[in-house]
Amino acid sequence: MIGRALAVLFALAVVPAYAAKVHFITPGEGAQVIGVTSLEVTTDAEEVDRVEFFVDGTLAGVVRTPPYRFSFDFGTSLQAHHVVAHVRSHHFREDDVAELRTAAVGESITVNMVEVPLRVQAPGPVTEKDLTIVEDGVKQTIRNVFQDRPSSRFVFLVDRSQSMGDGKLTAALTAIDAALDDQRPGDTAQIIFFNHNFGSLEELPRTARASTLFASMQPSGGTSLRDAVISTVAEERTVTIALTDGTDRNSEISDEAALRRIGGANGMFFALVFDRASQFLEKASQNTGGEITKVSAATVVDAMRNLIADINSRHTLTYQSTGKKKGWRAIKIASTRSEVKVTKARKGYFAE
């Protein structure tokens, strides 16, 4: 009885008996938001572990130290949003919440330009006259088709969970070294590691060796792939390559919400998977015109070289969308002559 009483007294001593106050500094209740906007809260909570920001039910970002501020890109979305901040404290035993709703800006949305990466087989150069594109049943006017891949931002998502042992993590880092060797002028690269938590994006200069910089990294913990994926989303042209065992047991964001976040008009998603690809990985690659490749520690370096060579050799089609609908817009590309065959292309994108 004495031991139980002491345990109760200890619990009361480490967990506050009152709810901490959490208040949004920006945006304000009922504000109209568009583009990059600062999400910031203040709190009187003690022993804060982290503050999690959610936008429309999707984890948008995590801040661990004050000021509890995070820049979120609402893009060209004109709809109202539900923004929530969870302040987790006292070793995650306390969860204090603030929330607000922004006001809708309008009812329609315009996408400036859509880029469609595609793989084409043809006996010679391919032009806009050789292809047709239809978005949501409406034929679009192709602006350009070119084979010289534009400069892109490459993001390498590296799984460092316990299942990436037995040389897989080391081999994955060596594969990234090979990818950096094959970058085009103007390309940039970043890396982010994840297990049941995820780190921050780190720059990778062309001369960097990931296998040397992160040689001390050890596999541990679970897997939160989807949460890590959405932390890399940006407006700029992005090629995301995940190196993972394919499982995801710890992400807070759902498959559907993550697919909406990464399915913008200027991104491609690929994965080199050491085990069986999840449904999320399959859909992410299909929607964006990417690809899933099964690898092992012995084959991942060659698979990465082949992948970068394939990306470098793809065509890119551009068009100005005439659509106004928010949400998913389906794309269908066809050839106007028999000797030109489209073998791989983006299935659509989310306009939000």
Give pLDDT, residue 109. 61
Q: What is the pLDDT of residue 243?
A: 96
Tally of residues, the chain? 352
pLDDT at 110: 65
The sheet that has 238-244: what strands, in order across it? Answer: 202-203, 188-194, 153-159, 238-244, 267-273, 292-294
Q: What is the pTM of this model?
A: 0.66
Structure tokens at 304: 């990465």
Residue 260 confidence (pLDDT)? 87
Rounded to 10 degrees, the C-alpha dihedral 29/32/34/39 comes to: -20
Contact by Cβ (8 Å): 192, 172 = no
**How many helices, marked H, and strands, marked E, lie in the chain?**
7, 21
Instruction: Determine the pLDDT at residue 339.
Output: 93
User: Which residue type sits at 201?
Assistant: L
* Bond before 27 cis per omega within 30 degrees: yes
Among candidate residues 146, 125, 116, the one with its CA nearest the CA of residue 334: 116
User: Mean pLDDT in each 10-residue stretch from start to end of the chain (352 residues)?
Assistant: 47 57 87 83 93 93 92 80 94 92 68 84 92 95 86 94 95 97 92 91 92 95 90 85 89 88 83 90 90 96 95 89 86 94 90 76
Report helix, strand or coil for 19: coil
> 271, 283 in Cβ contact below 8 A?
no
